[in-house]
A and B are shown apart, each in its own frame.
Chain A
Amino acid sequence: MALFLTISFSSIATGIHTWLAGTMQNEMLVKITEMAIAGISLLLFLVPLCFFLGYMERKVAAFMQIRLGPNRVGPKGSLQIVADTIKLLLKEGLTPTASDKFLFNLAPMIVVVTSMLVMAPIAFAKDFQIWDLSIGVLYVSSVSSIAVIGILMAGWSSYNKYSLLGAMRSGAQIVSYELSVGLSLISIVILTGSLRMSDIVMSQENGWWIFKGHIPVLISFVIFVIASTAEINRAPFDLAEAEQELTAGFHTEYSGMKFAMFLLAEYINLFVVSAIGATLFLGGWMPFHIGHWEAFNHIMDFIPSSLWFFGKTFAIIFIIMQFRWTFPRLRVDQLLTLEWKYLLPISMVNVLFVTVMAIMGWHF
């Protein structure tokens, strides 16, 4: 199994490429077909992923809240999310009469598409990456910030005061927290000297950055987890959809499939953020290596790279889920205080430390 997983991804890709090149002969057509295959397989991957994340969230919540969680549909309630999705699909998708119908219908698409786009440069396993572009980290941080447009659009076009308040909150929040996320990503870019995802992963061959980078990288990692939780609008930073204050915030007026798309985007975002955190700080698919302990490193290599990647990602997801079921919600001014008075100055000073560390070569 292990060998199959580690070897097969790249060999399957190469195999498909040679086969397509052999049958089609037209290079353009080959490329388009490959893109389509990649897109479809991504979609096929995302749907079960979101089902699983939804199930996991419920079970984690139940675990923390001394109750059982879903336990009726399917074995141990695992098909509950499928049933819920079918329910959402069958529900009537209401569009308020006074809303801006075009924007109202467009908004969930934008939110979902942006969150899917961020998946492109993520390396799921060794040699298994959709698009290893040279500006991977920059691409991730810039594309993910488009999502706020979708949320603002949803809030504005709903023609609902709660939605508008939620959208404005979300706008202020995402724009602010983007800075901290960006700065914490930059500290890794400084150490690696490259924006390319594969370079970042390879630079952690002799140890993950969170161990190699001493305390400054640890600080960046903590800031990254906090700020990205805020950026994806999850509790305790879910002010945009604060149920007790704004009923449901920017998606108050959405129902049925359009509402499901917001839900889908939330889970994809959760996965993407954790995957990026895992890639940059915890070495992505890179197994746990210690310096020059060749024998130990070799043993670690036997665990398939995809398992390493998903293990790390889900560890971060689990932490973010625990946040949600532990903390009360911040107030809007406290949220911005946290960012502008604490996280941003800390991460700025931290970047300075990382730079000094990188120049002096003080890391391992």
Chain B
Amino acid sequence: MSLLGEPELTEEGEFVINIGPQHPSTHGVLHLKVWLDGETIKKIQPHLGYIHRSIEKMSESLSYRNFIYATSRMDYLSAHINNQACALTVEKGLQIEAPPRAQAIRILMAELTRLSSHQLWWGCTGLDLGAVTPFFYAFRERELIMEIMEETCGARLTQNYSVPGGVMYDVHPNFQNRVKDVMKQVKSRFREYEEALTGNVIFEQRTKGVGYLSAEDAISFGCTGPTARASGVSCDIRKWFPYDGYDKLQFDEIIMTGGDSYTRYMVRMEEMKQSVAIIEQLIDNIPEGDFQAKTKMVIKLPKGEFYQRVETARGELGVYIVSDGAASPYRIKYRSPNFSNLSALSHMATGAKIGDLVAIMATIDLVIPDVDR
């Protein structure tokens, strides 16, 4: 679009608008070029790279201890889970396993991260659909979790808590009491969430039947996480390929079959409850022992390829390390959940209205730094 010239009209008389890179509802620097016919979307073209920091290239010159910290900046809302994935990959290469205590702490932190991420998403979904109030309610509980994070590892958002072999330090002595306290509060607030948004007539109208994604398309587009599970695709890595002892825990993989924005919303709402259930199972049963396995000062992975997937709040994160035996990875690839989920956006939103596009983007729960890396 030229800024000053005639508005860009294609031959069929379509109207082209640029949503982003600076736009209130793209949650970051996503740029969508949208072809419109009136209010109806005819075509969407995502333009990426506004926050591309070449984390993969950077990691090629960082040591196996240091590259983990860059991943906190990918999907900053599940920073801990990203760290965990990298730590697990390195552990796989070293053929060691974190001690049981470290695994339990990692799971607890991962589920807290997932919970806080979903809370942020819930608030932002309301905000995107024009209801400002839920945002504040969501942040009220999220803040409590952020305080736990701060107490445990000193950081609120980019935790950098997982290291190869375990976690960086033991948890705060107050950790268990505090988590139990917060869980009690969070559980009592779910009802409030549902009253504020779920049952609202306008909210249902805005999301039901909007942005339909079939199960076949979800698999073909590589969609994962709640986005795919709302289409009836089982894809929870915690169930499929358990890591860090998720197989010992009792929880359900939430699968619904609606495939529309409302179902995606409901899946996430239920997942929050599952996260709370996991935390409650584990919080009184943190095994005693070391919080970190012994590793060498300079980690060198043997020659070979190591792939590890974990379930972040948005879907399947894959870490693919190719090692040539040196002290830093030869090639590293992050298979980020948002990248694949975003590729389905155009398919889902074509034929919808502009307002629907916002609803679809909100319920896919995109984090743009994870797309661009």
Residues on A lying within 8 angstroms of B by beta carbon are: 61, 64-67, 97-98, 161-162, 165, 169, 235-236, 238-239, 242-247, 325-334
Contacts and interface: CB of A to CB of B under 8 A. Distances in A.
B14 to A, nearest CB: 12
B132 A65 contact: yes
B25 interface: yes
B128 interface: yes
A308 B39 CA distance: 45
Interface in B1-43: 1, 3-4, 7, 15-17, 23-25, 39
A11 B84 CA distance: 80
Most buried by B among A98, A165, A235, A244: A244
B203 interface: yes
Contacts of A97: 4
Nearest to B354: A245
Contact of B353 (A66, A238, A332): A332
A244 B24 contact: yes
B4 A326 contact: no
B24 A247 contact: yes
Interface string B115-153: 000000000001111111101110010000000000000
A328 B24 contact: no
B103 to A, nearest CB: 37
B355 interface: yes
B202 interface: yes
Contacts, number: 88
Contacts of B23: 247
Interface of B: 1, 3-4, 7, 15-17, 23-25, 39, 126-133, 135-137, 140, 197, 200, 202-203, 205-206, 353-358
B136 A329 contact: no
Given A161-B15, A245-B358, A333-B353, A328 B4 contact: no
A77 B27 CA distance: 31
A330 B128 contact: no
Contact of B206 (A98, A246, A325, A331): A331
Which 4 A/B pairs are nearest by Cβ-Cβ distance? A329-B130, A328-B129, A244-B25, A331-B355
Given A327-B130, A329-B202, 9 more contacts: A161-B1, A165-B39, A165-B354, A244-B130, A245-B25, A326-B131, A328-B126, A328-B206, A332-B354
B9 to A, nearest CB: 11
A242 B4 contact: no
B17 A330 contact: no
Given A161-B17, A244-B358, A332-B39, A327 B206 contact: no
Contacts of A327: 130-131, 200, 202
Contacts of B135: 65
Contact of A328 (B39, B200, B353): B200
B202 A328 contact: yes
A332 B17 contact: no
